[in-house]
Amino acid sequence: MTARTVLRNEWRLLMADRALRVVLGLFAVLLVYALANGVVWMRFQARTVEAVQAGNVERTRAIAEELAAIENGAEPASRFADPRAPNVLGGPRGSHTAVLEPGPLTALAVGQSDLLPYYYDVNIYTNESSFQQNGEVENPLNLMVGRFDLAFVVIYLLPLLVLAVSFNVLSEEREQGTLALTLSQPVSARRVVAAKLSFRALLVVGMVLAVSLLGILVTGGFSSPGRVLLWCATVVAYALFWFVLAAWVNSLRRSSAWNATVLVGAWLVLVVVLPAAINIASGLLHPLPSRVQMVTAQREASNEAVNRRSELLARYLEDHPEMAGGVVAEEPGLGALAWAATDAVNRRLEEVTSEHDARRAEQIALVRRYRFLSPALLAQEVLIDAAGTGDARFAGFQSQVRAFAEQWREFFVPAILASEQMDASVLPDLPRFRLEDEEGADVARRAGVPLTVLGALLVLAGVGAGVGLGRVRGAD
Amino acid sequence: MNTPESRHPAELGNGRAPLLEARGLSKNYGATRALDSLDLAIAPGEVYCLLGPNGAGKTTTINLFLGFVAPTSGQAFIAGLDVSAHDRETKQRIAYIPEQVMLYRNLSGLENLEYFAALGGKGALTPGRLTDILVEAGLERSAVDQRVSEYSKGMRQKVGIAIAIAKEADALLLDEPTSGLDPQASNEFSELIERLKNRGVAVLMATHDLFRAKETGTRVGIMRYGRLVTELGTEEIGHADLERIYLKHMHD
Ligand SMILES: Nc1ncnc2c1ncn2[C@@H]1O[C@H](COP(=O)(O)OP(=O)(O)O)[C@@H](O)[C@H]1O
Ligand SMILES: [Mg+2]
């Protein structure tokens, strides 16, 4: 009864308040703009994926054509690109591109998808330097802010809108004098504030969810209902956190100006300062080895390797008897020697990278530990993960590409070592990349902890607000 | 258990069970004794005027009846229910008109009445009926749909009365409701109080205005330093007497 009465009154107040309507309208425009941004990016990514996959088909077709022609007596187009040579068929000319399809809700949260590669050309020369093109952006703000997409609006701007419509939910009633009349009625401040905030939450969250669902509809994300649900739940929990925080601050019975200051301060600390500080700290405490180190290592290793190819090959054959396929050439061919040098460089790169990766892992561990301090970090993590544009999905993709590259080498290297030629009969057996994409259950499992902590923060603020509002009796 | 049966009948205004009653009601703000052992009983159809200078404890008394502040000791009863223990039930039966009735400025008088009446449990009243109530409270019919930001103070006080009428409150708590009103508006306000009194409403009104207290009140109580120093029936005395008695108490 009270709730319905308050809701109707709130509606009338909204209708009579031009400034508030303008703010809400502006926010709606921002939401739609952010969504359009995301949709454009997702379409671009989908087109790229399509083109890359067409490239795979086209390369295979061209090679099959040439192999057939050679079989019929034609000369290879170039002596250095003879498709029968395993280091050509398995090299850049015959390379296979491994592709990660756009995450189902990429249009809502571009996330890491415009920072991390979503396709790799895999061939026998694929090594760690191929994977280190990830371009970790050294400026943490870049990592954090990213594109102007819905996730950005939700994480950064939604709290501001929530605070704009709720920072004075109770203090305004006191300052304009209506609180005395209200509390002389048989209602509690808690119920009235809860009803007032419910109305505003319905409005604000409704807007965000409506635009989200629109984006999901337009880009076909409803085929992943679990992700949609996770997205919506996170938006709701995050928005409610800010509403409840505003209720709590209001329950302290200070002025509207005081409330505004404290709440904007909270936004600044929780959304901007803490995440930036955590990122900066992780960079300072666990600095990444410079990329120059990797380039230098690669150059030095190749210079050295070129001059020690025979020795390297002998060692390689010792280490990889399976690659020799039982056939060890008496007089190793040029291809085999070259491969030995390539492999030596790869080993050296792996050493350098593992150091890099260890530091990176330490950084991530630090960020993960302290993300509990900021509801913004928690919500962002889940939103991006739900969208399928989070770190975990990219890491999964990358590790599968690594395994695929290994598989690719195993297919070609024995022939390289044995200086054998290949023909069209191997084409149907060429390794093909098939992504084992993460399941909804994986995403849900990863969301468990951050969502629980976000929920706990919500409950904490809720208890504070409940207790505080319970103490509000009179109008002073 | 909370029914005040133990009272001396002489203390009751017109012999009927009191709607508003204070027993040993006291309130300290830190070292300030804002209200000191107030005993008071106001029966249906009585208008009790609290007189006293600023800081005498009038507002504190009203806030205690409203449950806006908790008593340091003693109890306030409304219709026999202890205010501290029965917040909702007691508020269901009272209406409150502060010195300034503050309403939602962007809404009309009717919309304000609709809201506060609904909060008071009268959500079923139709706009037509609520308009009649506003008119009964003295508002021009043409003003009913105007935004409150265009209202004078007198008009806002009338909306306050309308809320009380719509709620069918048994008791009315008024805190200097006419201060700042012009004599005409003040008179109209007193007539409304008179009408509610005749319907059996118990009224507790804090005021500075001796003349108004004598006109509207059935009894007056004079307060000073948080104590009720004397209580008089308005029938027994003239205007001049009241003024003399008041001033005498102020200069002790
Ligand atoms: N919230 C408060 N905090 C501290 N002192 C108060 C408060 N409210 C009232 N007082 C003090 O209590 C006394 C009685 O005040 P009040 O009841 O407002 O008097 P009146 O309404 O008769 O002018 C005054 O001395 C006043 O300063
Ligand atoms: Mg006062």
| pLDDT tens column, A49-99 | 999 999 999 999 999 999 999 888 888 877 778 888 888 889 888 899 999
Is B119's CB within 8 Å of A475's CB?
Answer: no
Residue range A107-134: average pLDDT?
A: 84
> Is CATH 3.20.20.70 the classification given to domain B9-100+171-251?
no
Q: Kindly state if the Cβ of B173 falls inside 6 Å of ligand 1.
A: no
Q: Which backbone phi and psi does B82 adopt, to 5 degrees?
A: -70, 125
| CA dihedral over B4, B8, B13, B15, signed as positive or negative | positive
- What are the backbone dihedrals phi and psi of residue A422, each rounded to the nearest 5 degrees, phi first? -115, 165
- Tell me the chain A residues in contact with residue B106 when contact means C-beta distances shorter than 8 Å: 13, 16-17
The model's confidence at residue A268, banded by pLDDT at 50, 70 and 90, is very high
SS3 of chain B: the string is: CCCCCCCCHHHCCCCCCCCEEEEEEEEEECCEEEEEEEEEEECCCCEEEEECCCCCCHHHHHHHHHCCCCCCEEEEEECCEECCCCHHHHHHHEEEECCCCCCCCCCEHHHHHHHHHHHCCCCCCCHHHHHHHHHHCCCCHHHCCCEHHHCCHHHHHHHHHHHHHHHCCCEEEEECCCCCCCHHHHHHHHHHHHHHHHCCCEEEEEECCHHHHHHHCCEEEEEECCEEEEEEEHHHCCHHHHHHHHHHHHHC
Q: Answer whether B116 sits within 8 Å of A12, measured CB to CB.
A: no
Verify whether ligand 1 is closer than 6 Å to residue B31 (CB atom).
Answer: no
Ligand closest in space to the Cα of B222: 1
Q: Which residues pair with A364 in a beta bridge?
A: none
* Residues A57, A122: Cα–Cα separation, whole Å: 14
pLDDT-based confidence at A133, cuts 50/70/90? low
Q: Is the distance from the beta carbon of residue B60 to the nearest atom of ligand 1 less than 6 Å?
A: yes
Element (H, E) at A98: strand A96-99
Best residue in A6, A179, A185 for a mutation probing chain B (most B CBs within 10 Å):
A185
Indicate the number of domains in chain A.
1
Q: Which two tokens stand for residue A434?
A: 């098939």
- As a whole number of angstroms, the longest Cα–Cα distance in chain A is 102
Digit-by-digit pLDDT tens for chain B (252 residues) are: 344 444 443 444 566 889 999 999 999 999 999 999 999 999 999 999 999 999 999 999 999 999 999 999 999 999 999 999 999 999 999 999 999 999 999 999 999 999 999 999 999 999 999 999 999 999 999 999 999 999 999 999 999 999 999 999 999 999 999 888 888 888 888 999 999 999 999 999 999 888 889 889 999 999 999 999 999 998 888 888 888 888 888 887
Which of helix, strand or coil describes residue A59?
Answer: helix
- What residues are neighbours of ligand 2 (ion), with CB under 5 Å? B 59
Entry pTM: 0.90
Which of A126-140, A392-406, B18-32 shows the lowest mean pLDDT across its residues?
A: A126-140
Question: Which string of DSSP letters, residue by residue, matches A130-162?
Answer: HHGGG---SSHHHHHH-SSSHHHIIIIIHHHHH
**Distance to chain A for B160, nearest Cα, Å:** 9
- Place A261 in a pLDDT band, splitting at 50, 70 and 90: very high
Contacts of A2 in chain B (CB under 8 A): 119
Domain that residue A190 falls in? 1-476
A410-468 per-position pLDDT tens digit = 999 888 888 888 888 888 889 999 999 998 899 999 999 999 999 999 999 999 999 99
Residue A334: C-alpha distances to residues A112, A343, B12 (Å): 42, 14, 119
